[in-house]
Amino acid sequence: MKIEWKKVTWYSQIIAIVIFVAVFFVGFFFGKKYESSRSVISGWAPPRSSVVASASFTCSAGKSIQAVFLTTGAEVTLSDGRSENLTQAESADGGRYTNSDESFVFWTKGNGAFVTENGVTTYVNCVATK
């Protein structure tokens, strides 16, 4: 059997249709794979405890505060040795970080800060040091 390259036959038409359909399905398959990989990438978030910044505050009465600000809250260490892991809370102005029952609240605004414990301000006139 001799192949005639420029002649259209019934079997060349079938081969062309099969190739066209196969290319469509292969493209559809790889498109779905790409789409699902994009949703995995766009759903990525940084680790919950990513450090954003840190600061040291000097307060009245010789007290001090060390604060490490995270993406979702702050870790605060007081000069009396206590440490608190706080979550960021709603605030009209500045940053407000609280424990679960809001008995411990750490407020920051500009380069100042203060701590309230059970409604009593225990660390006052705190100023960020360089």
Q: Which two tokens stand for residue 124?
A: 């006052």
For residue range 29-40, what is the model confidence (pLDDT) as tens digits? 888 887 766 555
* pLDDT 10s digits, 59-111: 999 999 999 998 889 999 999 999 999 999 988 888 999 999 999 999 999 99
**What pTM, to 2 d.p., does this model score?**
0.61
Output phi, psi for 111, to 5 deg.
-105, 15
Is the distance from CB of 124 to CB of 117 less than 8 angstroms? no
Distance, in Å, from the CA atom of 28 to the CA atom of 122, rounded to the nearest integer, reads: 64
Length of the chain: 130
